[in-house]
Chain A
Amino acid sequence: MALDEEALMWVEKYRPRNLSEIVGLRDIVDSLKAFLRNPRTMPHLLLAGIPGTGKTTAALCIARELYGQNWKTFTLELNASDERGIDTVRDRIKDFSRYSRAAFGDVPFALIILDESDQMTGPAQTALRRIMETSSRTCRFILICNQSSKIIEPIQSRCAIFRFSKLDKNAMVEHLKNIAQKEKLSLSEEAAERIAEYSEGDLRHAINALQTAAVYREGIIDEKTVLQVIGEASPKQVQLMINKALNGDFMEARKMMYDLIGTYGFSGSEIVRQMQRELIKVSYLSAEEKAELTNVVGEYDFRLTQGANPDIQLSALLAQFSKFRKMQGESN
């Protein structure tokens, strides 16, 4: 692959290539830079935070700063959800560390970036900790996760933890304007604000939305276009679907569910899992209510594995949400 091949997705094209270019994470960047001045002192790292806040970018920048142009040779990128289990992870790490031992140059180790590490089960993480230990002479790990609380203590204690926080709205708007300027596009203030609101601190979503809007209307990105993009391309269906169901609009919610299956081919369990994740974020439900609904979701997750028709199970689940809310409303 050509090294100077121009990346055509803006999330990649405008991804900072070294730590100094990263805006808005001053403290983190300073600490990381300190480690990089003397790589031998660099510990394993745990980068935690909500999506789209710069964790992967930071990890890749570190790789570049350590190894220069051929950083890919000395870096292994893994995703917990892509691998079939901890054994495949172990095999890949073993193969990689053997292969890259050859020429480290100044840097005495190779880099392993493991994303979605909080999605690994407890036992898998325990095994991971052992892997980290046995390969610590030749490898450093950068673990990336959304919730550090989901990482087992023995791993946490072996890592330097950095918390990435949500990008604030103004910083995001600035960023978007910056990109728009470089791409020679006209971006209205309202449009930029809309995108920033919609993305809720996730810069990846913001940039993707910006790029999609740019395609919708050549050269001009206004509020209307942005709303169109959000309506058509937004992957926030699951959130919307839950809200519709909770508000009693079952038919709409079910139609959205059909869309998810029909348009993106999500399986029943994928949707249920996403519902589980989004449920926690619903602001107008109390903790008890969320707990009860979580149990219902769990029950249907199980029924999905036993039953013959995912559409029935998912429709039924949405109907339980509507029923629940109605009953809560009646008892209040």
Chain B
Amino acid sequence: MKDDLWVEKYRPQKISEVIGNEEAKGSFVEWLKSKRRRKKAILLYGPPGVGKTALVNAASKEFGFRIIEMNASDTRTEKAINKIAGPATSFVALDTFSAESKGNLLFLDEVDGVFGNEDRGGIGAIIKIIEKSQVPVIMAANNLELQKLRPLKKVCELIRFQQVRIPLIIVMLRRICAKEHVDAELEALERIAENSRGDVRSAINDLQSLAENRRILRLQDTLMLTFRNKDIGMHETLKGVFSAKSFAEAISLLNRSSADYDELLLSIGDNLPLRYSDPVELGSAYDLISRADVFRGRIATENWHLLRYFYNFLAEAVTVAPQSYRPFELIMPPIKIITLFWTKSRRITMENVCAKIGTRCHVSRSKAKQHIVPYVKAILQKHKSSPIGSWLKLEPEEVDYLIRVNKF
């Protein structure tokens, strides 16, 4: 049954088949091949689904070394680790492996699961293993909390993986479509790629779930993607909390949820107006969400224990008036206006445009932005090559920018 999964079927067999992160791949291979390594351990880190594990597996096939793998699901105590890794890392055990394999490598996957548990030995245990090990150690992690990892840096090389870029994902999806005889519109593949946020694994999974029983995949078929969230936890969580009859019920749901709390904050915020039609209830709920957001802001710089208050405010926000609940259709995923539209470079371009208008029209930049830009924009939108653009000394990119930035 496992072969039915496209992520398995199309698993890279060679290093060159792993898409994206060329530079990281190169560094990793360099480390593998080097005769005299400076550090005998290496840590591959980055977002999920970008090829860390795939690369290690492909490399093992290509270079012919054996991987002794450990996953996050294993119990992580020093004893357990040593029990499994111990023999492999001792000199004697090497004899038990086949003559063909050039060697063994210890691969600790999802190693960030270990770091949190200081009481179970955590990072200390890993460092000991690295020190004792006779074979190279490869590790992979999703989250890199740099403070906790500082002790590791001395003994291990770090390689960062980034989100795989959209064109590369599209190339991969196209290949699979060709092999599976699926005729997919470019727009559909684009949408899957965009939605995956650089996670190749989930892009392939999404492709499979949409295309499996179809011969043709169109853009509209992919619109369902927004509801096929990686964390089904989000949809259930939202549905649950909004219909909760009491604060206690809501908070217990939140505590059990696997949904990412930032997404949760935004999603709940988006759905509040649908849940509360009465302005008084809506106002109260929003005030509570706003407080939750303030806590969220503080958590970023201070203390994770404040997370408790964050969840408290969320739970209160959704149970302002339990009796007024009527079922409604949820909005998902959250609408991130500012991050989506206003990048640093756009902000800088706008500042430059305002400065130019300000100089010509004898007003300040902020007045230009508030009072004059709307007219200039409207004029340029109707008449792109209006001489006003050059009179204001706007560069062609700046004119384009004013025209392109559309109403949401």
* Chain A interface residues (CB < 8 Å from chain B): 5, 7-9, 11-12, 51, 56, 60, 77, 79-82, 115-116, 204-205, 208-209, 211-212, 215-216, 229, 232-235, 248, 250-251, 254-255, 258-259, 261-266, 270, 274, 300, 303, 306-313, 315-317, 319-320, 322-327
Apart from the given pairs A208-B375, A307-B297, A319-B272, 9 other A-B contacts in the complex at a CB distance below 8 Å: A8-B391, A60-B362, A205-B371, A215-B379, A234-B374, A262-B337, A274-B370, A309-B266, A319-B283
Given the known interface contacts A215-B383, A234-B374, the answer about A313 and B290 at a Cβ–Cβ threshold of 8 Å is yes
Q: Which residues of B contact A (CB under 8 A)?
A: 262, 265-266, 269, 272-273, 278-280, 282-287, 289-291, 293-294, 296-298, 300, 335-338, 341-342, 346-347, 350, 358, 360-367, 369-379, 382-383, 386-388, 391-392, 405-408
Residues of B within 8 A of A215 (CB): 378-379, 382-383, 386
Tell me if B407 and A262 are in contact (CB < 8 A). yes
Cβ–Cβ contact A312 & B266, under 8 A: yes
> A307 contacts which chain B residues (CB < 8 A)?
290, 293-294, 296-297
Q: How far is the CB of A295 from chain B (nearest CB, A)?
A: 13
Q: A233-B374, A308-B297 are in contact. Are A250 and B273 (CB under 8 A)?
A: yes
Residues of A within 8 A of B367 (CB): 79, 81, 116
B336 CB, min distance to chain A CBs, angstroms: 8
Q: Contact partner of A235 among B300, B358, B371, B407, CB < 8 A?
A: B371
Q: Are B377 and A319 in contact (CB under 8 A)?
A: no
Q: Are B377 and A306 in contact (CB under 8 A)?
A: no
Contact B346 A265 (CB under 8 A): yes
Ordered by A's residue number, 5 sampled pairs between the chains whose C-beta atoms are within 8 Å are A79-B363, A233-B374, A262-B342, A262-B405, A306-B297
Nearest 8 Cβ contacts at the A-B interface: A323-B283, A79-B364, A262-B408, A233-B378, A319-B286, A316-B290, A316-B286, A8-B391
Task: Report the bound CA distance from A257 to B304 in whole Å.
Answer: 31
Tell me, rounded to whole Å, the shortest Cβ–Cβ distance linking B106 to chain A: 39
Q: How far is the CA of A258 from the CA of B366 in the complex (A)?
A: 19
Q: Are B371 and A308 in contact (CB under 8 A)?
A: no
How far is it, in angstroms, between the C-alpha of A175 and the C-alpha of B290 when the chains are bound? 48
Determine if A265 and B408 form an interchain contact, defined as CB atoms under 8 angstroms apart.
no
A208-B375, A323-B284, A327-B280 known; A312 and B383 CB under 8 Å?
Answer: no
Task: Determine if A310 and B338 form an interchain contact, defined as CB atoms under 8 angstroms apart.
Answer: yes
The interface centre, meaning the residue of B286, B405, B408 with most chain A CB atoms within 10 A of its CB, is B286
Question: Are B341's CB and A319's CB within 8 A?
Answer: no
Q: Do A265 and B297 form a contact, CB below 8 Å, given A212-B378, A250-B282?
A: no
B338 near A216 with CB under 8 A, answer no
Question: Nearest-CB distance from A321 to chain B (Å)?
Answer: 8
* The residue from A216, A234, A262 contacting B382, defined by CB atoms under 8 A apart: A216
Are A319's CB and B282's CB within 8 A? Answer: yes
A303 touches B290 (CB 8 A): yes
Residues of B within 8 A of A327 (CB): 280
Task: Evaluate whether A311 and B382 lie within 8 angstroms (CB atoms) in the complex, with A115-B364, A265-B350, A324-B283 already known.
Answer: no
Q: Shortest distance in angstroms between A124's beta carbon and chain B's nearest beta carbon?
A: 15
